[in-house]
């Protein structure tokens, strides 16, 4: 098979940094996120936060963030982070990443991202992975990036699963891995994150099964041309293509539109499928490949 070079891989994955916003739904927040409305609410939150109320501290941070009072946001997000809230540490990291206090501070960004991963916050793991992949604030290291993507992927994050699958397809990493040690032998770390078509297929399947449209479209492509251990299978290609389109993939929708047949042929096919059970798409789902 022909694998993509890293520069193209970056384009495919996009690597747009995550947009942080405290009001977004997140499993790490077991409380309602809302900004204080007026002086009295703000004072009440300050009193609670000073007494160790993590929700109050976080909401104060969010209040000041929405007011563009970033020093105040950092102060109270910092208090929430001290009280054990990983999402608060992530919010601070993003403030430093985006340079909201002046110039971006990558060193502090990495510090707070690392703190935010203490209990496995997906957002922080994804951001750290992207930082290591791009060399932002840290030395560029694909394998370390894969480690953080893997941590998020194992927690069921579909975007991380998709990113990890793409990195396992990367051909130029495979060349680097061959010279990973002085004696030419791969150590455990290198072996775990060297190019592996089976692992790529597995993680792509995991992501697609969660209805992540980019993964479904990529899986359709893999079945359409045969990629790695994914065999050429036009039936599976079609099933995954339609899944991706149904889940909002514009690429899949355009491909279907471009390949539309005459209306009467489509009508005949629709009438036939009306009385048939549409099979569910399948993909490589053997977790045993991760042990190799």
CA diameter of the chain? 72
pLDDT for 65 beyond 70 = yes
Q: How far apart are CA 93 and CA 71, in angstroms?
A: 13
| pLDDT value of position 280 | 84
SS3 227: strand
The larger pLDDT score, comparing residue 165 to residue 28, is at 165
Reported confidence tier of residue 4, pLDDT bands at 50, 70, 90: very low
Rg (CA), the chain: 23
What are the structural domains, with CATH classification, of the chain?
Answer: 44-115 (1.25.40.10)
pLDDT for 154 beyond 90 = yes
In angstroms, what CA-CA distances link 17 with 97, 98, 140, 144?
10, 10, 16, 17
Query: Highest mean pLDDT range out of 1-15, 122-136, 157-171, 172-186?
Result: 122-136
Considering only 44-53, 96-105, 262-271, which range has the smallest mean pLDDT? Answer: 262-271
Q: How far apart are CA 128 and CA 147, in angstroms?
A: 10
The larger pLDDT score, comparing residue 126 to residue 190, is at 126
28-58, pLDDT tens digit by residue? 588 889 999 999 999 999 999 999 999 999 9
Q: How far apart are CA 204 and CA 134, in angstroms?
A: 22
E-strand ranges in the chain read none
| pLDDT value of position 25 | 42
| pLDDT value of position 274 | 46
Considering only 111-115, 170-174, 248-252, which range has the smallest mean pLDDT? Answer: 170-174
* Average pLDDT estimate for 230-244: 93
| pLDDT value of position 278 | 66
In this prediction, what percent of the chain has a pLDDT beyond 70? 78
Full-model pTM: 0.82
């Amino acid at each position: 098979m022909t694998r993509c070079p890293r520069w193209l891989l970056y384009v495919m994955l996009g690597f747009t940094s995550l947009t942080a916003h405290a009001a977004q739904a997140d499993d790490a927040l077991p409380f309602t996120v809302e900004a204080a409305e007026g002086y009295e609410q703000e004072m009440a939150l300050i009193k609670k936060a000073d007494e160790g109320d993590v929700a109050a501290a976080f909401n104060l941070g969010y209040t000041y963030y929405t007011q563009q009072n970033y020093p105040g946001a950092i102060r109270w997000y910092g208090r929430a982070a001290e009280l054990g809230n990983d999402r608060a540490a992530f919010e601070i990291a993003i403030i430093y990443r985006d340079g909201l206090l002046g110039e971006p501070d990558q060193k502090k960004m990495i510090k707070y991202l690392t703190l935010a991963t203490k209990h496995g916050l997906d957002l922080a793991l994804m951001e750290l992975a992207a930082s290591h992949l791009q060399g932002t604030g840290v030395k560029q290291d694909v394998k370390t990036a894969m480690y953080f993507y893997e941590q998020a992927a194992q927690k069921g994050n579909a975007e991380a699963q998709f990113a990890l699958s793409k990195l396992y397809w990367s051909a130029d990493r495979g060349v680097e891995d061959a010279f990973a040690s002085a004696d030419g032998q791969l150590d455990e770390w290198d072996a775990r994150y060297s190019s592996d078509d089976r692992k790529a297929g597995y993680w792509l399947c995991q992501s697609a099964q969660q209805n992540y449209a980019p993964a479904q479209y990529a899986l359709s492509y893999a079945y359409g041309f045969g990629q790695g251990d994914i065999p050429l299978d036009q039936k599976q290609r079609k099933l995954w293509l339609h899944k991706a389109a149904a889940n909002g993939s514009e690429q899949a929708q355009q491909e279907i539109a471009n390949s539309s047949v005459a209306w009467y042929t489509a009508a005949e096919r629709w009438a036939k499928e009306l009385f048939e059970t549409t099979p569910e798409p399948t993909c490589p789902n053997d977790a045993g490949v991760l042990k190799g």
